[in-house]
């Protein structure tokens, strides 16, 4: 399947360097036409964000007019304060963050461990089967399993954020194991063996030598797990039974009727829910872009 | 980069001749599996079996019963499946979902390929533009759908009135025949970045000299696109089409945010009908629906697997 050749260590770095080379080479003859067209397309991407920000900053009287493009005058923070209290933002944020952190950490650790066991025993049939077994979930969209999972999580007292985090990890396993295994199989085994000669156990060699080497792949796996978990609506809305334990995206849906025509409150709430992921992305965008490219090409 | 680190550290640790406490454990084919590997793998397999495999099998089991989700039930054989194939609500949901998925796949790939070609050519502000184009990938589908819901319900009709465009003066979300267009547009808006990143990676594999040579021969940019770019990245196009189609079949959140299945049931997707299984008491019936839905996605996935294997470079 995904051949180890495509996942050479440092692949992320090579993608970025390759993408920048043509730009540097052709810096003398920029294509202005293309640039202008692309900037116009970028405006379509920016538009909904502009609408969100400008609506969120309006006062109640101005927002109710529903004029998306009019600039806020006066600039008002009332939308934010109302939304903060109405949706109990701190609580929803904490729950979303909790689920996301557990998912990211759990996905990286569990799939790295499983992939290590699989790749170092690849010649054994049972381990290869385990690999294909884990891969199977890639073909199972959540709607197919939803009804049974709701029933099962209810039975074992996991109809809560923890249950959602667990399911998020399980749904990320296939993709993450695929990435890690391909990477590990291209990693020379001598490295751990020399550590083992020095007296380290297999587990010790994994944690101290192999796991740090996996960092670029862990970043990719982590970014995808973060985005899937932080932005998910379907699973928390189906699994979490107690509405007061809902995540940020679900809370936006729950409060639709209460927002009604208070557009400034609604958009302030949307903005607060979207902001953490956007800020994280903009800060680490170079890193995230190469990670996303790595993952996307798999 | 990483490769060199590996080399040096191997040399460093391997060169001092340590007393060989045990013979170097090079691939012990016949020996027993080291127990630690089982500790690494088994917990994951157990959790996976409980969280994914069990519900999958449960679903198939209940699809042959008349269960309402709790209490007693009886086996009804293939009855649920037979009823399904003549149920207008289910058939229209499948028709709608497949139609939206196909339209979205086409639109996403055209836009993503165009952007990828633009972003890999000699342009200004490349990093900034790429950062912006990936932005839709990092936001929640349902929230962005709510934002677009406002735009389609208020901004577009207001603009249409000002510009005297009759068709758009009423919100397309309220029109049973046009509401699907809003779903295709918003899904496309969010799905373009992933396809675009795959295309950018694909375009990087095309050697630059090929273009230079053909430019010397006088080939127009359009001709270059048709006879160089498209054939050389055909593998990436195929993968994008299949992955996209599979993803868009499960469309749910964007519909919830835009139309919530309405007006009436005009935009109800398969996922939405499945989720209704709890409220409407037709649990077993929707399990049958899930099973059919699974078989469809599985078929697409198997096609994907075959193609990925054929294209070793992907």
Task: Tell me the shortest Cα–Cα distance from B156 to chain A, in angstroms.
Answer: 10
Domain-located, residue A196: yes
Task: Tell me the shortest Cα–Cα distance from B177 to chain A, in angstroms.
Answer: 24
The residue ranges of chain A whose pLDDT is under 70 are 1-30, 296-298
List CB contacts (< 8 A) between B125 and chain A: 35, 39
Domain-located, residue A64: no
Averaged pLDDT score across all residues of chain B: 84
Domain tally, chain A: 1
Q: Which of residues 51-110 of B touch A (CB under 8 A)?
A: 51-52, 54-56, 58-59, 62, 69
* A233:B54 CB<8 A: no
Give the pLDDT of residue A21: 41
A15, A206, A249: residue with CB nearest B201: A15
| Residue labelled with tokens 């198939």 | B60
* B24:A37 CB<8 A: no
Distance of alpha carbon A135 from alpha carbon B13, whole angstroms:
36
The verdict on B143 touching A (C-beta cutoff 8 Å) is yes
User: Nearest residue on chain A to B236, judged by CA atoms?
Assistant: A297
List CB contacts (< 8 A) between A267 and chain B: 147, 150
The verdict on B48 touching A (C-beta cutoff 8 Å) is yes
* A10:B147 CB<8 A: no
* A121:B59 CB<8 A: no
List CB contacts (< 8 A) between B123 and chain A: 23, 30-31, 34-35, 38
Give the pLDDT of residue B19: 45
DSSP annotation of B69 reads S
For residue range B277-304, list pLDDT tens digits in order.
777 778 889 999 999 999 998 888 788 7
For residue range A70-98, list pLDDT tens digits in order.
888 888 899 999 999 999 999 999 999 99
Distance of alpha carbon A290 from alpha carbon B196, whole angstroms:
13
φ, ψ of residue B70 in degrees (nearest 5):
-155, 170
Longest dimension (CA), chain A: 74
Q: In the Cβ-directed half-sphere of B61, how many Cα atoms lie within 13 Å?
A: 10
Give the pLDDT of residue B183: 96
List CB contacts (< 8 A) between A293 and chain B: 197, 200-201
Domain-located, residue A72: no
For residue range B205-245, list pLDDT tens digits in order.
888 888 888 888 888 888 888 888 888 888 888 888 888 89
Give the pLDDT of residue B155: 87
* A274:B139 CB<8 A: yes
CB-neighbour burial class of residue A230 (10 A; exposed 0-12, middle 13-18, buried 19+): buried
* B38:A117 CB<8 A: yes
Give the pLDDT of residue A2: 35
Residues 6+ apart with CB under 8 A from A197: B18, B20, B21, B22, B24
Give the pLDDT of residue B257: 93
The verdict on B133 touching A (C-beta cutoff 8 Å) is yes
Q: How confident is the model at residue B308 (pLDDT cuts 50, 70, 90)?
A: low
SS3 (DSSP) at B65: strand
Task: Tell me the shortest Cα–Cα distance from A94 to chain B, in angstroms.
Answer: 17
* A38:B115 CB<8 A: yes
Host domain of residue A139: 88-254
Give the pLDDT of residue B10: 38
Q: List the domains of chain B with CATH numbers.
A: 100-310 (1.10.3720.10)
Identify how many contiguous H helices and E strands chain B contains and give both numbers: 16, 0
List CB contacts (< 8 A) between A8 and chain B: 3
Determine which of A113, A117, A130 to mutate to test the interface with B (most B C-beta atoms within 10 Å). Answer: A117
List CB contacts (< 8 A) between A193 and chain B: 24-26
Domain-located, residue A31: no
Domain-located, residue A55: no
Q: Tell me, what CATH number does A234's domain have?
A: 1.10.3720.10
List CB contacts (< 8 A) between B270 and chain A: 143
Domain-located, residue A295: no
B144, B291, B312: residue with CB nearest A48: B144
A6, A133, A146: residue with CB nearest B275: A146
User: Nearest residue on chain B to A272, judged by CA atoms?
Assistant: B143
Distance of alpha carbon A15 from alpha carbon A19, whole angstroms:
6
Residue B95 has pLDDT above 50, yes or no: yes
For residue range B129-188, list pLDDT tens digits in order.
999 999 999 999 999 999 999 999 988 888 888 887 777 778 889 888 899 999 999 999
User: Nearest residue on chain B to A190, judged by CA atoms?
Assistant: B10
Six-digit token string for A150: 């709701």
ipTM of the complex: 0.85
Residues 6+ apart with CB under 8 A from B119: A38, B126, B129, B130, B133, B196, B200
* A38:B129 CB<8 A: yes
Give the pLDDT of residue A67: 81
CB-neighbour burial class of residue A43 (10 A; exposed 0-12, middle 13-18, buried 19+): exposed
The verdict on B220 touching A (C-beta cutoff 8 Å) is no
Domain-located, residue A174: yes
DSSP annotation of A71 reads P
The verdict on B191 touching A (C-beta cutoff 8 Å) is no
| Residue labelled with tokens 């197919």 | A144
Q: In the Cβ-directed half-sphere of B270, how many Cα atoms lie within 13 Å?
A: 30
pTM for the whole structure = 0.85
A3, A68, A111: residue with CB nearest B155: A68
For residue range B25-77, list pLDDT tens digits in order.
555 455 678 888 999 999 999 999 999 999 999 989 999 998 887 778 889 88
Domain-located, residue A250: yes
User: Nearest residue on chain B to A297, judged by CA atoms?
Assistant: B198
């Amino acid at each position: 399947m995904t051949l180890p050749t495509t996942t050479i260590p440092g692949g992320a770095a090579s993608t970025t360097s390759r993408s920048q080379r043509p730009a540097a080479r052709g810096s003398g003859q920029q294509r202005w036409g293309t640039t202008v067209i692309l900037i116009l397309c970028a405006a379509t991407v920016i538009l909904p964000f502009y609408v969100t920000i400008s609506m969120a900053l309006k006062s109640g009287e101005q927002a109710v007019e529903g004029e998306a493009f009019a600039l806020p005058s006066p600039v008002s923070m009332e939308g934010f304060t109302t939304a903060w209290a109405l949706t109990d933002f701190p609580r929803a944020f904490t729950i979303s963050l909790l689920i996301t952190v557990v998912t990211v950490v759990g996905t990286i650790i569990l799939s790295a461990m499983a992939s290590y066991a699989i790749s170092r025993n690849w010649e054994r049939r049972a381990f290869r089967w385990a690999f294909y077994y884990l891969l199977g979930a890639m073909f199972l969209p959540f709607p197919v399993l939803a009804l049974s999972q709701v029933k099962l999580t209810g039975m074992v007292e996991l109809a809560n954020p923890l249950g959602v985090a667990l399911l998020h990890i399980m749904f990320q396993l296939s993709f993450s194991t695929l990435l890690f295994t391909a990477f590990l199989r291209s990693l020379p085994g001598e490295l751990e063996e020399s550590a083992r000669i020095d007296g380290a156990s297999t587990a010790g060699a994994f944690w101290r030598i192999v796991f740090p080497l996996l960092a670029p792949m862990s970043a990719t796996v982590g970014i995808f797990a973060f985005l899937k978990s932080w932005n998910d609506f379907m699973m928390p809305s189906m699994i979490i039974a107690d509405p007061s334990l809902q995540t940020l995206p679900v809370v936006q849906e729950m409060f639709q009727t209460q927002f009604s025509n208070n557009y400034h409150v609604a958009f302030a709430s949307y903005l607060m829910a979207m902001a953490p992921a956007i800020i994280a992305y903009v800060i680490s965008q170079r890193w995230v872009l190469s990670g996303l490219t790595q993952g996307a090409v798999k | 980069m990483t490769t060199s680190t590996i080399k040096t550290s191997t040399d460093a640790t391997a060169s001092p001749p340590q007393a060989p406490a045990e013979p170097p454990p090079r691939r012990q084919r016949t020996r027993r599996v080291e127990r630690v590997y089982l500790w690494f793998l088994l917990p994951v397999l157990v959790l996976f079996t409980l969280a994914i495999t069990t519900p999958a099998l449960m679903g198939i089991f209940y699809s042959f019963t008349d269960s309402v989700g709790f209490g007693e039930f009886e086996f009804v054989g293939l009855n649920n499946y037979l009823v399904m194939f003549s149920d207008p609500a289910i058939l229209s949901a499948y028709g709608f979902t497949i139609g939206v998925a196909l339209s979205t796949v086409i639109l996403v790939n055209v836009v993503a390929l165009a952007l990828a070609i633009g972003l890999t050519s000699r342009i200004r502000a490349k990093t900034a533009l790429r950062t912006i184009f990936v932005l839709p990938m990092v936001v929640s589908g349902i929230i962005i759908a709510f934002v677009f819901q406002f735009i389609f319900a208020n901004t577009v009709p207001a603009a249409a009135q000002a510009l005297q465009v009759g068709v758009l003066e009423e919100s397309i979300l309220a029109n049973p025949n046009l509401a699907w267009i809003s779903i295709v547009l918003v899904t496309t808006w969010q799905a373009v970045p992933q396809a675009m990143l795959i295309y950018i990676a694909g375009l990087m594999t095309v050697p630059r000299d090929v273009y230079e040579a053909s430019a010397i021969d006088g080939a127009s940019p359009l001709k270059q696109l048709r006879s160089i770019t498209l054939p050389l990245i055909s593998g990436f196009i195929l993968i994008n089409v299949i992955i996209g189609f599979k993803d868009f079949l499960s469309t749910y959140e964007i519909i919830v945010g835009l139309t919530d299945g309405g007006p009436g049931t005009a935009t109800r997707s398969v996922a939405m009908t499945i989720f209704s299984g709890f409220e409407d008491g037709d649990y077993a019936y929707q399990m049958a629906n899930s099973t059919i839905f699974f078989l469809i996605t599985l078929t697409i996935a198997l096609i994907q697997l075959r193609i990925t294997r054929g294209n070793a470079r992907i």
